[in-house]
């Protein structure tokens, strides 16, 4: 079947030519000479073989040269990889190959367009994030240079605010460096066994002051009397928990609650849930929640500060552990972020 497919065009064309010439020759012999079956059979065989050979060679050579020229002009293929495949006179096969290359190139173009849009959006976001603290620092320094430096009260006030602007810049740059390393796989995961309950307690202690400003209570869902051991990178999981709790405080309601629970998921997995009763997230925003710099409430988030990279970093750290992160939210009611870890 493969042979017939490869030479289908030449076989059919040679047969057509042979039939026409045989018919013409038979009429000629019948009219002017004696028509003999043996002579006709010999003519059919010779004519068919010659026709098939010439057509196959010429058409194959014709297709090869022109298709190769197209490949070379458009640089669709390396010439070495092109020569690995045999060019045949089967038009259906050729069409399939061209369609396949067209689909591949269309996919590549669409991917490049998406990447270009993402690059533009990313550069715009980086520019916007860095612009505010830079202009803030510049404004205070220029005011000091213009004479405010001689006023001790203003000097301390403006230097303190300029310092906060610089700290914000450093925070953003550090987060950018972290997420870039995570995306290219340049951050190693150093797995160890530790008590996740103790780690959560340390995160609560670290963020207690921040939560108290909005009178938000940081709590467990129940009292954990026994340790729950997990295998993970303790430092990076602490960053995950910190980012999630900070996020819940940032968008939490005054006098609200941020609750963490640790539950058995399957035999060798636990799931950690961070739940708040804050403002929640609208359904259309949930798919973009882990994108760099994406903010649900842009005005509110900027007032609270942050780099806008916290949730993106969380997602990359969890995925670097080969684990999963989930989000459930109802607008106006609250949100729950959860992620899995391997049991220790």
pLDDT digits (tens, 9 = 90+) for 70-102: 656 555 544 444 444 555 545 566 667 677 777
| Mean pLDDT (whole number) for 121-138 | 74
What percent of the chain lies above the pLDDT cut of 70?
79
- Is the pLDDT at 234 greater than 50, yes or no? yes
Element spanning 217, H or E: strand 217-220
Cα–Cα nearest to 290, from 183, 192, 191: 183
* Eight-state DSSP code of residue 86: P
pLDDT digits (tens, 9 = 90+) for 274-324: 999 888 888 887 777 777 666 665 544 444 555 567 788 888 889 888 899
- Is the pLDDT at 2 greater than 50, yes or no? no
Q: How far is CA 228 from CA 196, 205, 224, 336, in A?
A: 6, 19, 9, 21
H helices of 214-330, in order, are: 234-250, 298-304, 310-320
pLDDT digits (tens, 9 = 90+) for 188-218: 788 899 999 999 999 999 889 888 888 999 9
Angle of CA points 263, 287, 303, to nearest 5°: 90
Cα–Cα nearest to 209, from 249, 169, 247, 244: 249
pTM exceeds 0.75 for this model:
no
pLDDT the model gives residue 271: 92
């Amino acid at each position: 079947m493969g042979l017939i497919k490869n030479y289908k065009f030449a076989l059919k064309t040679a047969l057509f030519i042979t039939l026409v010439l045989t018919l013409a020759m038979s009429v000629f012999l019948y009219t002017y000479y004696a028509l003999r079956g043996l002579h006709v059979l010999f003519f059919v065989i010779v004519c068919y073989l010659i026709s098939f050979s010439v057509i196959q060679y010429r058409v194959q050579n014709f297709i090869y040269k022109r298709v190769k020229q197209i490949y070379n002009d458009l640089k669709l293929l390396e010439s070495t990889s092109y020569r690995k495949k045999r060019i045949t006179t089967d038009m259906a096969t050729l069409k399939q190959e061209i369609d396949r290359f067209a689909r591949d190139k269309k996919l590549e173009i669409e991917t490049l367009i998406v990447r270009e849009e993402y690059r533009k959006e990313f550069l715009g976001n980086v520019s916007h994030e860095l612009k505010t603290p830079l202009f803030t620092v510049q404004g205070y320094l220029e005011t000091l240079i213009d004479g405010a430096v001689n006023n001790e009260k203003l000097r301390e006030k403006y230097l303190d605010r300029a310092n906060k602007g610089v700290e914000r810049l450093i925070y953003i740059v550090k987060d950018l460096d972290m997420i870039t390393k995570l995306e290219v796989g340049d951050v190693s995961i150093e797995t160890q066994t530790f008590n996740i309950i103790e780690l959560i307690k340390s995160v609560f202690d670290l963020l207690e002051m921040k939560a108290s400003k909005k009178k938000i209570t940081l709590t467990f869902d129940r009292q954990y009397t026994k340790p729950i051991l997990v295998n993970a990178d303790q430092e990076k999981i602490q960053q995950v928990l910190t980012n999630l709790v900070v996020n819940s405080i940032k968008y939490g309601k005054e006098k609200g609650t941020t609750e963490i629970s640790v539950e058995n998921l399957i035999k060798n997995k636990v799931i950690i849930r961070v739940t708040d009763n804050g403002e929640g997230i609208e359904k259309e925003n949930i798919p973009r929640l882990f994108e760099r710099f994406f903010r649900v409430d842009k005005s509110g988030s900027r007032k609270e500060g942050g780099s806008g990279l916290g949730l993106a970093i969380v997602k990359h750290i969890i995925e670097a552990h080969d684990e999963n992160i989930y989000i459930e939210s109802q607008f106006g009611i609250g949100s729950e972020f959860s992620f899995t870890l391997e049991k220790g």
